[in-house]
A and B are shown apart, each in its own frame.
Chain A
Amino acid sequence: MKRALSEALVAAGAPPPEFWENDLEMGLEHVCAMLQEEDRMEAWVDKRKGNQAKVLLKNLGIPPGASTRKNKEALRSCNGQILQYALVDYFGKRKSRQAVIDVALRILEPEDSDECRAGEDYDVKSLLYALYRRDPMSLRSVFHLDKMHKCGFARMVLDKNIRRPEQPLAEFLSAAFVKNVLREYDAERTDGRSSELKDIHVDAERCTIFIRRAERPEMIVGPSGVQHGYRPEWIILSFHDGGKRVWIASVSVAVPLQIANRLAQAYFRQPREYLNESQVVTNKQLERLFGLLRDGAIDDLALVELTVASSPLEGQPKLTIAGAEGIGNAIAQFERQVGGLLSNVDHIEAFRVAYRTKRVHLKLESLENVEDGFVVRYSDGKLNAKERKQFEEYMEKEHGIIALSTEKRFK
C-alpha cells in the first residue's frame, strides 16, 4: 500500500515519502489507508472551497473556469496529481493558523497570498497549497514554527553580563558547527539517544535552533510485532540579545540546557551558564494590579479565578473562586462580608485572567532573601508566540509587571 503511494508521489513529481514521514512526521501508512477508501479523492475534491479549488488548479497549471463547480470537475480529471495536495491538507490539520500565515507572508509573493484571502482573513488551506507549489520544503518551516506557537519557553539568562564577540551569533551558529556540538554531546552522554539538528531559523530578533532528540523509551505495535525505541522530543533553543538570553522549549529538563550552555561556551569563548531568569515585582505593584482587577477598571484584563492559600474563613482554608467571566464584584462582596482576599498579597497563590480570547494562568513565586515582592510567572504555552509577546508587553507597559514563563530548566 505504502509502495503504491510512494510510486504515485514520484509519478506526480512530489517529494519522496522520506520528506512526509521524517521531516513532517506524518504517518503515511495511516493516510494511505484513508485515501484508498472508495471515492475518497472524489469526496475530497467536493469539499474544496472556491478559492482552494482555484489555487489547486493554478498549481496544476490549469486555467480556472468560470465557476467553482467547473473548477472541481477539472480537478477530478487530474486525480493522480492532486494526491499530494490531499497529503498537504492532512498535514495542515493540526497546524496553527498563525504559523501558516507567518510563513506564507514571508515566502509568498503578495499577489499569491492575496489569492488565498477569504474575506478579511486568509484561507489557511489555500495558503498551504500555494506554499507547497512555491517550495515543498516551506512546509518544514510551518511544521517548526507551529511548535513554537504551541509550547511554553523557559526564559534563561547568562550568569554574567559579558561583552559580545564581534562575530554575530547567527553567523557563528552554522549548521555544521551545531551538528558537531550535538554529536560530541551525544557521544559524551553514552545513553544511546541521538540528537538531530532539524533547522536553524534566523530573524532580526533571534536565532532559533530546532533539534529532535530521543527522549524516553517507548514501544509501538506494528504488523511485525512490537518495536522498541524512544519517544522523540523537540528541543527549541531560541537565542536572543546576541546569545545573552536563551528561551528553551523541550520535554526534558537538563539536556536542552546543557546543549545551550555548550553553544554559549563556544560562542563567548569562556565557561558560561544560563540561569532561570527571575524579575521581582513589588508587593505594591501587585496590590495595585489586584485593586484594578477587583474594581473591573481594566478593559483588556478581567480576573476570572483567584486562589488564596489562606482565606479569612474559619481555619484559614485554601480558597479558589472562579467564574466564566470577571469575578471582581464577587471578590469585593466576599471581602465586604467575610474578610480580605486581595489585601494580603502574601496569601495569594495563583490567579487567572481573561486576556482577549484566552484565559491566562499566573502564579506568584517567592524568592529567597526577597521580602518585598514575587516573581510573576504565567502559562505562556497557552498563547501563541504573537499573543505571548503582546501579553508580556501589555503587562509591563500598563502595569509595570514583568511576567515570565512558568517553564524552568535545570542542569
Chain B
Amino acid sequence: MASSPCPRKSDSNDEREQIARLLEDGSVIDQPSPAVTELAKRLEGLGLIKVARREYVRCVNFHDRDIPSRDRSCSGKIYLDDRLDEGGDDYRCPACNRVVYPFRHRKGRFKDIRSNVVSESVLAYLLRELAETKATVKELARGAYRADVGDLGVAVCIVDLCPEKFLAHDWARSQPTCYIGVNARRLRERFLDQDWLVRVPLSEIITGVVRLPDLLQKAVDASRTASVPNASVPVFSRGAPPIVNDSVPQLATPRCFFVELGLNTVRVNGEVIVNPQAGPRYHIFRILLKRFFDDAAEGRAANAFRPMSLQDIVDALGEATDKYYEDVEGVRRTINRLQDDIERTVKQKLGQPIDRDDIIQTCPWKGQGKNDFGYRINPMSVVIRAFRNTDTANLS
C-alpha cells in the first residue's frame, strides 16, 4: 500500500502538543493561531480529522455597541449561520437567551475550529506507516494488527479503537504489544503504571518524534527483558452497576400496528388491548375485523375499505351474542371507550406514538344523517397477523 505524504517531521514540543489537541475527537480551539490552522489543514489533508471552521460573536463584548443592561458577565457564544434570520430574532445567546443582532450591530467576530477524528482514516494511516516498515502486517481485529517483527511478532493496538480484549493485562503480558493512543490526553495516566508497557500517542508518530520501527523493536525487547508482575484483577466492581443500553426499536414510517385476534383476546404489537372478560368489545372488534377481511378479499384499495354504520354493528353484535341491544348509544360509547383504551394502553405499555383512530377508525358515514358515523379497522395502519403464544407475542 502506498503511503501518503507525511507532514513535516518536527520535534517541536509546541507542534506536537497542537497536533495532539487536534486529535482529541470533538476538541474546540478558540481563536486558532495561523500555525494551528496550518496544522489542522495538514491533518485534514491526511484525512485524519475533519475540521469545522466556525465564526461566532460574543453575547457580551465590551467592544460591541450592544452591551446588555443585565448579566454583563455572560460568556455565551453565538455562532453565525446563513440559515438563521436575524430579523426573525433567530440569533439567541445559548447561555442567557438574549436576542442579539450580529450584523445589524456589527458585533466583533471571532473564529474557532472543531476537529473530529476520522477513525477509518486513522486506521488507514497506521497501516500505511506499518507498510513502510517492510514487515508483514496482519489485521487481528479493527484497530489491532500484528507486525511480523521478532520471534513472536508484535501486536500494534490503537487503544481508542481496538476491542477490549487487546487492552487486558493478560494479553499485554503474554504478547509483545505496542499501544498507540489517538487521544493523547492523560494517556500515560490511563495505562497501568508499568515500565514494560510500550505506549505512545499518535501525535508523536505523526511528528516523527517516535519512529514506528523503533517502537516495534522496543516492544520485542520489552517482552524479552521485562519482569512482569501478576496484576490483581478484581472479580467484582463495587462501582455503579452497569447500565445495559437496550436500543429502542425504530418504528416503520408510516405507522404500522400488528393486530392479533385470539379466541377471546385482541393484542396490538403484542400488548393485550381487549381482555377475555371484556364482553361486547371482543365481539365488536371481531365484527369490524370480518368486514376488514371481506374488503381485503374483494381486492379493495385501502382508502375504499367500507366503514360499518353503528346500526349494522348493533345488528351484527345481536347475531353474534344472541342478545338484543336496545341501547344503540351504549354501543357507540363502548366503541369510543375501546378507541380511548387502545390509545392509552399502547402509549403506557409500549410508549409508541398512536392516535385514537389508528386501530379502530371513526369515519363519516355517507348515506346517513350528518351526525352519524361509521367505524372500520384502519386499513392504513393495521396489519393482521396470526395469534401467537404469549411468550412469542412481543413485537420484534
Q: How far is the CB of B163 from chain A (nearest CB, A)?
A: 16
Among residues 79 to 96 in chain B, which have CB atoms less than 8 Å away from a CB atom of chain A?
81, 83-85, 87-90, 92, 94
* B101 adjacent to A397 (CB under 8 Å): no
Whether A284 touches B348, Cβ cut-off 8 Å, given contacts A149-B88, A397-B353, is yes
Among residues 358 to 389 in chain A, which have CB atoms less than 8 Å away from a CB atom of chain B?
358-359, 372, 382, 384
* B85 adjacent to A339 (CB under 8 Å): no
Pick the residue among A93, A149, A288, A332 that contacts B245 (CB under 8 A).
A332
* A357 adjacent to B84 (CB under 8 Å): yes
Whether A284 touches B351, Cβ cut-off 8 Å, given contacts A96-B87, A97-B85, A124-B87, is yes
Q: Does A399 contact B (CB under 8 A)?
A: yes
* B353 adjacent to A400 (CB under 8 Å): yes
What is the CA–CA distance of A358 and B85 in the complex, to the nearest angstrom? 11
Pick the residue among A94, A286, A332 that contacts B101 (CB under 8 A).
A94
* B87 adjacent to A93 (CB under 8 Å): yes
Q: Does B104 contact A (CB under 8 A)?
A: yes
Q: Does A398 contact B (CB under 8 A)?
A: yes
Residues of A within 8 A of B242 (CB): 336
Residues of B within 8 A of A336 (CB): 242-243, 245
Residues of B within 8 A of A324 (CB): 28, 114
For A357, give the chain B residue with the smallest CB separation. B83
Q: Does A282 contact B (CB under 8 A)?
A: yes
Whether A95 touches B87, Cβ cut-off 8 Å, given contacts A339-B240, A340-B243, is yes
Pick the residue among A99, A285, A325 that contacts B351 (CB under 8 A).
A285
Mask for A332-356, Cβ within 8 A of B = 1, else 0?
1001111110010000000000000
What is the CA–CA distance of A94 and B89 in the complex, to the nearest angstrom? 8
Pick the residue among B89, B94, B248, B347 that contacts A150 (CB under 8 A).
B89
For B116, give the chain A residue with the smallest CB separation. A325
Residues of B within 8 A of A124 (CB): 87
* A294 adjacent to B348 (CB under 8 Å): no
What is the CA–CA distance of A283 and B240 in the complex, to the nearest angstrom? 24
Q: Does A392 contact B (CB under 8 A)?
A: no
Among residues 106 to 148 in chain A, which have CB atoms less than 8 Å away from a CB atom of chain B?
124
* B87 adjacent to A295 (CB under 8 Å): no
Mask for B238-254, Cβ within 8 A of A = 1, else 0?
01111101111010010
For A288, give the chain B residue with the smallest CB separation. B351
For B87, give the chain A residue with the smallest CB separation. A95
Among residues 175 to 207 in chain B, which have CB atoms less than 8 Å away from a CB atom of chain A?
none
Q: How far is the CB of A261 from chain B (nearest CB, A)?
A: 29
Q: Does A396 contact B (CB under 8 A)?
A: yes
Q: How far is the CB of B303 from chain A (nearest CB, A)?
A: 19
Residues of B within 8 A of A281 (CB): 347
What is the CA–CA distance of A150 and B28 in the complex, to the nearest angstrom? 32
* B353 adjacent to A93 (CB under 8 Å): no
What is the CA–CA distance of A396 and B246 in the complex, to the nearest angstrom? 23
Mask for B203-247, Cβ within 8 A of A = 1, else 0?
000000000000000000000000000000000000111110111
Residues of A within 8 A of B353 (CB): 285, 396-401
* B243 adjacent to A343 (CB under 8 Å): yes
* A294 adjacent to B245 (CB under 8 Å): yes
Q: Does B354 contact A (CB under 8 A)?
A: yes
* B352 adjacent to A400 (CB under 8 Å): yes
Q: Does A278 contact B (CB under 8 A)?
A: no
Q: Does A242 contact B (CB under 8 A)?
A: no
For A343, give the chain B residue with the smallest CB separation. B243
Q: Does B302 contact A (CB under 8 A)?
A: no
* A312 adjacent to B240 (CB under 8 Å): yes
* A96 adjacent to B240 (CB under 8 Å): no
Pick the residue among A292, A357, A401 that contacts B250 (CB under 8 A).
A292
Residues of B within 8 A of A187 (CB): none
* B248 adjacent to A282 (CB under 8 Å): no
Q: How far is the CB of A41 from chain B (nearest CB, A)?
A: 20
Residues of A within 8 A of B152 (CB): none
Q: Does A64 contact B (CB under 8 A)?
A: no
Residues of A within 8 A of B352 (CB): 285, 288, 400
Residues of A within 8 A of B354 (CB): 400
Mask for B150-174, Cβ within 8 A of A = 1, else 0?
0000000000000000000000000
Residues of A within 8 A of B247 (CB): 291, 295, 297
* A295 adjacent to B88 (CB under 8 Å): no
* B241 adjacent to A339 (CB under 8 Å): yes
Q: Does A73 contact B (CB under 8 A)?
A: no
What is the CA–CA distance of A359 and B92 in the complex, to the nearest angstrom? 10
Q: Does B384 contact A (CB under 8 A)?
A: no
Q: Does B6 contact A (CB under 8 A)?
A: no
Q: Does A232 contact B (CB under 8 A)?
A: no
Q: Does B349 contact A (CB under 8 A)?
A: yes
For A284, give the chain B residue with the smallest CB separation. B351
Q: Does B278 contact A (CB under 8 A)?
A: no
Residues of B within 8 A of A312 (CB): 240
* A286 adjacent to B240 (CB under 8 Å): no
What is the CA–CA distance of A94 and B92 in the complex, to the nearest angstrom? 14
Q: How far is the CB of A313 from chain B (nearest CB, A)?
A: 9
Residues of B within 8 A of A97 (CB): 85, 87-88
What is the CA–CA distance of A372 and B349 in the complex, to the nearest angstrom? 11
Q: Does A252 contact B (CB under 8 A)?
A: no
Residues of B within 8 A of A332 (CB): 245
Q: Does B350 contact A (CB under 8 A)?
A: yes
Whether A295 touches B347, Cβ cut-off 8 Å, given contacts A150-B88, A384-B88, is no
Mask for A263-306, Cβ within 8 A of B = 1, else 0?
00000000000000000011111111101101101000000000
Between B101, B114, B349, B353, the greatest number of chain A beta carbons within 10 A of the residue's beta carbon is seen for B353
Among residues 138 to 174 in chain A, which have CB atoms less than 8 Å away from a CB atom of chain B?
149-150
Q: How far is the CB of A383 from chain B (nearest CB, A)?
A: 9
Residues of A within 8 A of B104 (CB): 93-94
Between B83, B87, B101, the greatest number of chain A beta carbons within 10 A of the residue's beta carbon is seen for B87
* A98 adjacent to B101 (CB under 8 Å): no
Residues of A within 8 A of B253 (CB): 398
* B88 adjacent to A96 (CB under 8 Å): yes
Whether A98 touches B348, Cβ cut-off 8 Å, given contacts A336-B243, A339-B243, A396-B353, is no
A/B interface sample: 24 pairs, CB < 8 A: A94-B89, A94-B104, A97-B85, A98-B85, A100-B87, A149-B88, A282-B347, A282-B351, A284-B348, A286-B351, A287-B351, A288-B351, A288-B352, A294-B245, A295-B248, A297-B248, A312-B240, A324-B28, A336-B243, A337-B240, A357-B81, A358-B90, A396-B353, A400-B351
Q: Which 9 pairs between the two chains have the least Cβ-Cβ distance?
A: A400-B353, A284-B351, A96-B88, A291-B248, A288-B351, A339-B240, A335-B243, A97-B85, A285-B351
Chain A residues with CB under 8 Å of chain B are 92-100, 124, 149-150, 281-289, 291-292, 294-295, 297, 312, 324-325, 332, 335-340, 343, 357-359, 372, 382, 384, 396-401
10 additional A-B pairs beyond A335-B243, A338-B240, beta carbons within 8 Å, are A96-B87, A150-B89, A284-B350, A288-B352, A291-B247, A332-B245, A335-B245, A337-B239, A359-B94, A400-B351
